[in-house]
């Protein structure tokens, strides 16, 4: 049964230093809506892959009541090595949410390699499960009460404030 559908908002259009080039927008149109699904155990905020680099998306999901965030991905090896764990842990910490991030691993067409490391991260940023480069299933015990506990310790969602666009203020020496 399909309960909800999410269309990835951010297209991965990039040229990497390794020479790899990706243009998702050549084959796909980006979505324009966030999705939070009411599940029996809590609310699930949906995202896909490159979306993980846009923290305001995850903040909007958390502000809409998400307790759990998903980020199924196919990260390249260079970007995975550098950013995968850090970005997912940051999204969990910033929003006091569990993050479930299934990830493809291994070699693909034309010699492309993906990073793998399917992760489950708790709201404090602790990695509860990491599949490494292996193919398989990861699992972890999810304590739903941990969400409220962490959000009470660091109530950033309660302290969130709307603000205006930044003002550019010129330094007097900048005009010289």
Residues 83, 89: Cα–Cα separation, whole Å: 10
Average pLDDT over residues 146-156: 97
Residues 150, 66: Cα–Cα separation, whole Å: 14
SS3 state of residue 161:
coil
What global pTM score does this model have?
A: 0.91
CATH entry 3.60.110.10 includes domain 13-175: yes
Q: Cα 40 to the chain's mean position, in Å?
A: 22
Residue 63 near residue 46 (C-beta atoms within 8 A): no
CA distances from 147 to 45, 89, 111, 139, 161 (A): 14, 14, 41, 18, 21
Confidence of residue 129 (pLDDT cuts 50, 70, 90): very high
The mean pLDDT of the chain is: 94
Q: CA-based angle 12:116:32, to the nearest 5?
A: 30
Look at residue 175 in the predicted model and tell me its pLDDT.
64
CA distances from 23 to 14, 20, 155, 174, 175 (A): 7, 10, 39, 38, 39
Look at residue 176 in the predicted model and tell me its pLDDT.
64
Look at residue 162 in the predicted model and tell me its pLDDT.
87
Look at residue 69 in the predicted model and tell me its pLDDT.
98
Look at residue 173 in the predicted model and tell me its pLDDT.
86
Residues 37, 62: Cα–Cα separation, whole Å: 12
Average pLDDT over residues 76-95: 96
Query: Distance between the two ends of the chain, CA-based, in angstroms?
Result: 65
């Amino acid at each position: 049964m399909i309960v909800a559908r999410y269309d990835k908002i951010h297209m991965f259009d990039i040229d990497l230093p390794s020479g790899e080039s990706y243009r998702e927008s050549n084959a796909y149109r980006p979505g324009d809506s966030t999705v939070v699904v009411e599940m029996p155990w809590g609310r699930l905020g949906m995202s896909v892959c490159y979306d993980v680099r846009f923290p305001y998306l995850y903040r909007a999901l958390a502000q809409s009541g998400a307790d759990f965030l998903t980020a199924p991905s196919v990260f390249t090896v260079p970007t995975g090595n550098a950013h995968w764990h850090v970005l997912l842990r940051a999204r969990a910490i910033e929003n006091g949410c569990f993050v479930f991030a299934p990830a493809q691993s291994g070699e693909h067409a034309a010699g492309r390699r993906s990073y793998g490391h399917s992760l489950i991260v708790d709201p404090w940023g602790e990695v509860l499960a990491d599949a490494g480069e292996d193919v398989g299933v990861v699992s972890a015990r999810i304590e739903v009460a941990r969400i409220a506990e962490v959000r009470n310790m660091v109530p950033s969602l309660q302290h969130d404030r709307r603000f205006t666009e930044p003002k550019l203020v010129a330094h007097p020496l900048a005009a010289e």
